[in-house]
Structure formats: structure tokens, C-alpha cells
Amino acid sequence: MPNFSDFYTEDSVNNQGLECLRFLNEVISDYDALLEQPRFKDIIKIKTIGSTYMAASGLTDDNYNPNMPVKEKWAHLAQLTEFALTLKETLTNINKESFNNFLLRMGINQGPITAGVIGARKPHYDMWGNTVNVSSRMESTGKAGCIQVVEETARILEEFDYVFEQRGLVAVKGKGNLMTYYLLGRKSDLKNSPVKSNLDDPAVPTTSSS
């Protein structure tokens, strides 16, 4: 939630920030509850940093084979994408109940990662690698309210009937300029409703660098 920092204040009205954190805890708890649903059984929550929620899929797939059919090989990626869309829907409902206007800004990527538990005190499971870095970059350079992916991810998810629009080139550290796409939604949901472009806001740049 990139606009949560605008909401967070440490004044007497918010009990020096405690009320803001209590609200954030309710949001994160609602996200966690989604992972109890059978349709999201292959998704694992990795961590939260502030209002940023990190999750991954396919980490426990012992039957993985690089030669598997696309729909079998990347079923967990489609599941993660469905989870991302459900997070947006969940936050929309929370906004209606709390009279807020929070937005999610998300990035999705797929590929090999290194994962493990580190630390002697408060040990923590985490993930590293280019796949993670690109996913983080997709989030940080995206537009609030949108889900941004690289071209390879978009092509895979199109096999699962997700619809994308091309955003343009985005500079990714260590990767150069990558063509990126915004997820518009599920094809079945877009059939009977007008498709609103995520590029309508002229303030959104088509390139970014760090």
C-alpha cells in the first residue's frame, strides 16, 4: 500500500500511531486469512515490511519438471496471480467499510530463487536472487492500483486467460531495460465490461531507473 505512509501519523488522534498500526494489522490479517482457502494452497507468505506484503508460490512443488506443459508447470503462478487479484478485491472491501482509499501496487515474477532460514536470534525464512529482485522492481516502478509484470510472465499468464496491456520499457538494475505489462484482469471478467487502461494517467512514466 504505497499511500499508507500518507495515512500514518503519530499524533494524539491516532494515539501516537497505534491506531494506524492497528488498522494495518487488520488488513494484513485479512490477507493472511485468504491463504487458508484451498485455492491458494500453494502460496506461502514470506514476510511483511511495513505495509508491503511478500508471498511466493511453487516453493514446495516436488514434482517440478522443466519439460512439463505450460499449464501444469506454471499453475502455481496463475494461483499467485489470482491471489494478487483477490488482495485487491479484499482491500476494496476494507476501504468501503473504513471509508479509506488505499491502493495496492504489486509486482509478479517467476523463475529460480534461493531460499532458506537465516539468523540465530529470531530466525527468519527469506528469499533471494534475480527473480526476487525483478519482482521487487516491478512493484516499486509500477502504478498504484496496478499489477506489473515482465514480458515473459505476461506470455505465460496469457495461457491462463489473463489479459495484459503493454506499459513500456522499465530500467531494472542488473537487467537493463525490460518490457513490462500491466494486468487488466481475467478474460472472463472483461467480456461484458469496458476495459479501463492503466495507462490513462499521463503522470505515469514509461521508463524508470535507480
Which three three-digit cell numbers place residue 184?
487488466
CB count within 10 Å of CB 125 equals 14
Beta bridge partners of residue 127, listed in sequence order: 115
Which three three-digit cell numbers place residue 115?
531460499
Which three three-digit cell numbers place residue 37?
482457502
Question: Which residues are identified as catalytic?
Answer: 137, 173
Residue pair 184/198 in contact (Cβ under 8 Å)? The answer is yes
The half-sphere exposure of 99 on its side-chain side, counting CA atoms within 13 A, is: 0
Residue pair 23/97 in contact (Cβ under 8 Å)? The answer is no
